[in-house]
Structure 1
């Protein structure tokens, strides 16, 4: 499996890369350098989290990544910032929270899906200031928390996205299992 990681200035790049199975090859590129021709050489794209700037109000800066997500036909998995970007591309409104959500949190699965197979608990690691309350008509909400939507799946395209960070605190959360389930689904 050839994996493209689109780095949205995440602080957790090493942790994200370490989640990939040993047989997967990966390339990491900055969000501003994405182009359609490069992306076609990969089996799946992972959109990382990011902390440098919000999605809302920075659509011009994110133009290449927005175009990529809008047109890429292969599987995509969005994490935190990547989740917010995907949701906003398909019509969701992002809301800024009064304070940052940070730490391990329980989520509620509201729509069973194979992405949640063999997860012993539904604790995940959060680190975000923005929230999606409704993901838009093209998505199924898979999980929620007290703040909003936590996991979505596109109705017709191979796109999943999560508000949380599956790459963090894998000894205390089920995020890594959810990420691996996604990779197994697309094999």
Structure 2
């Protein structure tokens, strides 16, 4: 029997729905995502750690779920809110329903919620603390509301979702150290598809330990939460700038900005969806991008830094791309690997590898080596 559930927001708004997935209470920051599809990638994106996500598109679960579309094996999302959930999905790739997936991972869901009203509340008042609760009566809601208001949101999301142990994805070309702040599988896929030799390390790995791996480049991954909550990551990035080519994505973009002396701020309701237009200031071209972040780089704070703005959001003018004026380093606020979303910006991975090659050519142009190394070959014997 389907149980009635409630979405309770800290400002006192209450919306009613019906339970699916795991039947349990959930607390977190209530946000919304405008993607029309890709719900499996959304709920398995580590950047949603600590959040309850509302999908604005009415129907979710219609094509089921499968083992290939996970962005992480252990979803960190706290809850999912939809208008309608398909109980009988239809797709040749489907291996189960959305409800079955949520139940198997202990994630609560609510459907038959007025998601349009909920989204309008968040747009007007901003993302806020909230709770999903089933099996309670309306008369009990005031005590839960008090609990919501007195409970703080978690600040250790990066530590929760980052890998605990370094691991290696062998490849034959450039050696990339990927710092995992909550990395999506799509980023690793884009690197391995380009035959990169990837070393994934935890978020708190020190710069000197990263440099001991002799990377050709370092990629700063996406991740959840406020970039100022991981000051050790900022120090690591600061120590790496100028030492090795860098590419930052999403949270990595914000950490890169902080490391170079800029500032970040919280957005009212964030950018979450697969249809965000971004303008490249060098080409004047518009890209459609996939985004998921609640914080942004403060544009005014860039004036006294060695950073240059390369891209801006069309909708609200926020900073979407940066590059260092002297060091080989750049970053983007959105997800060039998409998952879900458009592929307009996938070329940034090629840009990163081209930057690495240019950096290597500059280093070797000042001397003539007394040995030859064939293209793609690496001296792995010296790597720990």
Q: Verify same fold: TM over 0.5.
A: yes
* Cα distance in structure 1, aligned partners of 2:340 and 2:350: 12
Distance 1:172 1:42, change over 3 A: same
* Cα distance in structure 2, aligned partners of 1:55 and 1:43: 25
- Cα offsets for 1:46-70 (capped at 9, x unmatched): 000101x3112x2xx432x323222
TM-score w.r.t. length of structure 1: 0.84
- Cα offsets for 1:72-118 (capped at 9, x unmatched): 21100011101111111222221101112111211111134xxx9xx
Indicate conservation of the 8 Å contact 2:234/2:258, yes or no: no
* Cα distance in structure 2, aligned partners of 1:138 and 1:132: 14
Q: Shift in Å at residue 170 of structure 1?
A: 7.4
Indicate conservation of the 8 Å contact 1:131/1:147, yes or no: no
Please state whether the residue corresponding to 1:186 is helix, strand or coil.
Answer: helix
Indicate conservation of the 8 Å contact 1:111/1:141, yes or no: no
Distance 1:164 1:152, change over 3 A: same
* Cα distance in structure 2, aligned partners of 1:3 and 1:31: 15
Q: Which residue of 2 aligns with 1:96?
A: 266
Indicate conservation of the 8 Å contact 1:143/1:150, yes or no: yes
Q: 1:15 aligns with which of 186, 207, 232?
A: 186
- 1:156 matches 2:326: yes
- 1:28 matches 2:200: yes
- 1:166 matches 2:336: yes
- 1:107 matches 2:278: yes
Indicate conservation of the 8 Å contact 2:297/2:319, yes or no: yes
Which structure 1 segments of 5+ residues have no match? none
Q: Which residue of 2 aligns with 1:139?
A: 307
* Cα distance in structure 1, aligned partners of 2:329 and 2:340: 23
TM-score w.r.t. length of structure 2: 0.43
* Cα distance in structure 1, aligned partners of 2:340 and 2:322: 21
Which structure 2 segments of 5+ residues have no match? 1-173, 358-384
- 1:74 matches 2:244: yes
Alignment RMSD, CA only?
Answer: 2.1
- 1:38 matches 2:203: no
Structure 1 runs, 4 residues or longer, greater than 3 Å off:
none
* Cα distance in structure 1, aligned partners of 2:340 and 2:254: 22
Distance 1:98 1:18, change over 3 A: same
Q: Count how many residue pairs are aligned between Structure 1 and Structure 2.
A: 174
Please state whether the residue corresponding to 2:204 is helix, strand or coil.
Answer: helix
* Cα distance in structure 1, aligned partners of 2:239 and 2:249: 19
Please state whether the residue corresponding to 2:353 is helix, strand or coil.
Answer: helix
* Cα distance in structure 1, aligned partners of 2:339 and 2:205: 29
Higher relative contact order (CA 8 A, sep 6+): 1
